[in-house]
Amino acid sequence: MAHWKYFNEGDIIDVVAPGYPSKPHEVEGAHDFLLKWKLQPRIPKGLIKPHFLHAHEDEARFAFLKAAIESKDSRVIWCLRGGYGSNRLIPMLAKLKKPKEPKLLIGISDITSLHSFFIQEWGWSTLHAPLLDRLGRNLVSPKFEKELHEILFGQETEVEFKNLKPLNEAARKVKNLKSKIVGGNLTVLQSSMGTPWQIETKKSLLFVEDIGERGYRIDRMFEQFRQAGLFKQCHGLILGDFVGGEEPSTQKNNFKLVFKRWAEDLDIPLFQGMQAGHAVIQRPVPFNTPCMLNVEKGKGHLVIKTGGRK
């Protein structure tokens, strides 16, 4: 595991847009947010250009990402927004030589493709945490903005998730489970299946979240993961936030039934209640760093090392 370096005031932050475009006022908001934290935003000219799907053509989005990876004066790559597009850049990324120094990738949702690549190919630890356009629009509460600041600037070396709900007997029996977290957006992880960059779950806790997916689609993705052997290899499954996905007939989702079914079907621990994903609260989840999971008084308690260093 390669540690990333804690932030210092004045640090350059390379801003990239590997997926959907952000509007000009959102880019400006992201810029102002980084200045508020006394950081130097580096948002390249022409980062976003009209395109029918993405923030720019594949080659241009990759060129900006490559420049951020290879820049000698910055240690951070922070994504503007998610959407769709990162996985189209992976074959180009695979041709790059592994950098000597690790950098910190920050983002969620579509950025899951990049998290998995950097972890599996280069051994980096990354941070599943709010995108810059969200922070720039003041959609993160002061409490959780402070938490993110303390993690990035090294005042906190661990992230703690209390009150995880064990959904099956295997989860209720967990004691001193040492592992690491991998995963991210469920749909994006599914898109890696059958590729050379398929998510690796060996000796890891698999964290998943999603937005706008109905119950049958979540069930189908889990079934594909099971048939592909992903659940057999991992230490357990942790559910983040699943939002949207209401059934047309009832205007309510059926997630509870889906997760209950999988709790009964799986012989690995299944937990629910990680405040991470697309809901209002998007707590940071360090990927590919040591973590410890315990169940005390019927509640799961997860402590994850941030992966930072001085």
Catalytic status, residue 70: no
Catalytic residue among 113, 209, 213, 235: 209
Q: What is the DSSP letter of 89?
A: G
Cross-strand partners of 250: none
Tell me if residue 204 is catalytic.
no
Catalytic residue among 109, 113, 116, 191: 109
Length of the chain: 310
Q: Residue holding tokens 């079934």?
A: 223
Q: Is 267 exposed, middle or buried (0-12, 13-18, 19+ CB in 10 A)?
A: exposed
> What pairs with residue 205 in β-bridges?
181, 236
Three-state SS string over 283-304 comes to: CCEEECCEEEEEEECCEEEEEE
Contacts of 91-97 with C-beta under 8 Å, sequence gap 24+, read 92/58, 92/62, 92/66, 93/62, 93/65, 93/117, 93/121, 94/121, 94/196, 94/197, 96/66, 96/69
Task: Please name the residues in contact with 235: beta carbons below 8 A apart, sequence gap of 6 or more.
Answer: 177, 179, 203, 204, 205, 268, 269
The DSSP string of 190-240 is: HHTTTSTTPPP-TTSEEEEEEES--HHHHHHHHHHHHHTTHHHHSSEEEEE
Q: Which of 51, 53, 55 is nearest to 43 (CA)?
A: 55
Q: Measuring CA to CA, how many Å separate 29 from each of 12, 24, 72?
A: 17, 9, 26
Choosing from 54, 115, 235, 278, the catalytic residue is 278
200 counts as catalytic: no
Spatial contact of 291 and 1, defined as CB atoms under 8 Å apart = no
Catalytic positions, written as ranges: 109, 209, 278
